[in-house]
Amino acid sequence: MEQMMRNFFLFLGENKKMTKLAKKYGLSLGASRFVAGATLEDSLDALRKLNKKGFSITLDHLGEFVDNEKEANEMTDHCIEAIEFIDKHNLDSQLSLKITSMGLDISRELCMKNMRRIMDKAKQHGVFVTIDMEDHSRCGVTLEVFKELKQEYDNIGTVIQAYLYRTIDDLNELDEYQPRLRIVKGAYKEPEEVAFPNKKDVDQNFKNLIQIHLLRGRFTSIATHDDEIIRFTKELVKRHNIPKDQFEFQMLYGIRPERQEEIIKEGYNMRIYVPYGDDWYGYNMRRLAERPANVAFVLKGIMKK
């Protein structure tokens, strides 16, 4: 049943008509639990509260299905605006982005032009940028874009997904770039030809990736809400005397906030992935797919309308 619900929400999240329709209703239908606000200014109070509690942040301007140059340039402008906003308000924050939003599906040239605009501004203001990973069909080109930019900018990282068979090879190939990596399970519906179908295999691969990257001395962001993965990481770093400034835990805004605060109180670094914007639908569906229990919050939002 849980897998059926996961597939259902992933299917909904890929529906372009539903994405456009959802924008009309703002964040009222439960999405406000997972999205800080429709604009940066709307999100500021939430961001400041997180920093005050000791959390670092990574900001993500939501956007799905960018298919023309005008939209790609607008998304780039949003990223630049976010970098300037972080600097203006002295936030402890990084920036996360998807390169499809910068025009990758239109042309590699457009994407690289927009990414360099963003990276130049980020370098100017000392803001770190993480390239998010998308579905498996874009994995290879995402890593190629990262490698090219990493040779020009120090303040850039990317993401690898534990559910893909290829990820261990990607990790080994990336090591020469001394990358800061966020390791995640993966949130897209993938065929069994490219991804582990069973959770236990994904979890084991997740642990292997964490161990390899940390023992190589690389900075590692462990992005998970899974207590077993968190426990494994704590035991690993203790066993090998890995300093706490070499890694951080990451969780999503609005999911398990009590657990987030517990980890901070234990003395570990915790970064919260905070999305904002009105194009929230696809992101929200993936959050529901990851944890169907979150459906209750959406239903409460609907009942209030």
- Catalytic residue numbers read 132, 182
DSSP state of 38: S
Helix segments in 175-294, DSSP class H: 199-215, 227-239, 257-265, 281-290
Q: Parallel, antiparallel, or unpaired for β 181-184 and 156-161?
A: parallel
Q: Given CA atoms 54, 119, 279, 283 in this order, what sign does their dihedral have?
A: negative
Residues 6+ apart with CB under 8 A from 13: 281, 282, 283, 284, 285, 286, 289
DSSP 3-state helix, strand, coil percentages of the chain (rounded to 5)? 55, 15, 30
Residue 79, helix vs strand vs coil:
helix
Helical packing angle, 139-150 and 167-174, nearest 10°: 10
